[in-house]
Amino acid sequence: MKFFADTADVAAIRALADQGLLDGVTTNPTLIHKSGRRFVEVVAEIAQAVPGPVSAEVIAADHETMMAEAEVLRRIAPNVAIKVPLTPDGLRTCRALTGDGTMVNVTLCFSANQALLAAKAGATFISPFVGRHDDVGFDGMALIRDIRLIYDNYGFATQILVASVRHPVHVLEAAKIGADVMTAPPSVINALFNHPLTDRGIDSFNADWAKTGQRIL
């Protein structure tokens, strides 16, 4: 499963990339707002930091303006993926962009039927929001299972990009289901390291090494 970071924090992105953990990045208007920086500037910097897809979201609601915004965004770097909402105009834009080779991430997916529509429109990625789905009393991972089944039934090439990931269990369940990608805040990715037995083992080995009185350097 590919790991994308859901952030506009360039320092955090570089740290994950240096660890070999990062395959791409997703951004959205909220994350850009939190960064306090200019949208195009931060997307360009992120695109230089990672070789994989960097999702940059259009703001317009109509097809014509989405296409105009997408033209600006895809000129930033060749690894920019245009993020569009799962609406009729969004899918029309998706079809037009993927038709000429641009990567498209269709976002704000909350049903398997919506995911089916996005795949038929040629989406590169579909972003079902599991955390937000859980928040309103639904099972976010059941949605991922349904999408995986449908896509496998018909051989759709669209990659399932699990979004709104809140904790390491979401990551684990997405991997078990067979999602293609998950995107999460750096804090969630870093939390995957955590286990008390690992910490206890390191402390025990260090204590025993100290008793030897030896040094490697």
pLDDT at 120: 98
| Distance of alpha carbon 5 from alpha carbon 24, whole angstroms | 7
DSSP 8-state assignment for residue 167: S
pLDDT at 13: 97
| Distance of alpha carbon 68 from alpha carbon 198, whole angstroms | 51
Domain presence at residue 71:
yes
Domain presence at residue 182:
yes
Domain presence at residue 143:
yes
- Mean pLDDT along residues 170-176: 98
pLDDT at 164: 97
Domain presence at residue 105:
yes
Give me the percent of the chain exceeding a pLDDT of 70. 100
pLDDT at 121: 98
- Mean pLDDT along residues 9-33: 94
The mean predicted confidence, pLDDT, of the chain is 96
Question: Angle CA(83)–CA(154)–CA(149) in degrees, nearest 5?
Answer: 80
pLDDT at 108: 97
Domain presence at residue 114:
yes
| Distance of alpha carbon 190 from alpha carbon 81, whole angstroms | 25
- pTM for the predicted model, two decimal places: 0.95
How many domains in the chain? Answer: 1
Domain presence at residue 217:
no
The CATH number that applies at residue 11 is: 3.20.20.70
The tens digit of pLDDT for each residue in 112-151 reads: 999 999 999 999 999 999 999 999 999 999 999 999 999 9
Domain presence at residue 30:
yes
- Candidate from 6-15, 26-35, 39-48, 149-158 with smallest mean pLDDT: 26-35
The tens digit of pLDDT for each residue in 47-73 reads: 999 999 999 999 999 999 999 999 999
Domain presence at residue 15:
yes
Using alpha carbons only, how large is the chain's radius of gyration in Å? 20
**Which residue is catalytic, options 83, 120, 176, 211?**
83
Is 83 considered catalytic here? yes
Give the DSSP H or E segment for 160. Answer: strand 159-162
Which range of residues forms the domain containing residue 70?
2-212
pLDDT at 75: 96
- Mean pLDDT along residues 202-206: 95
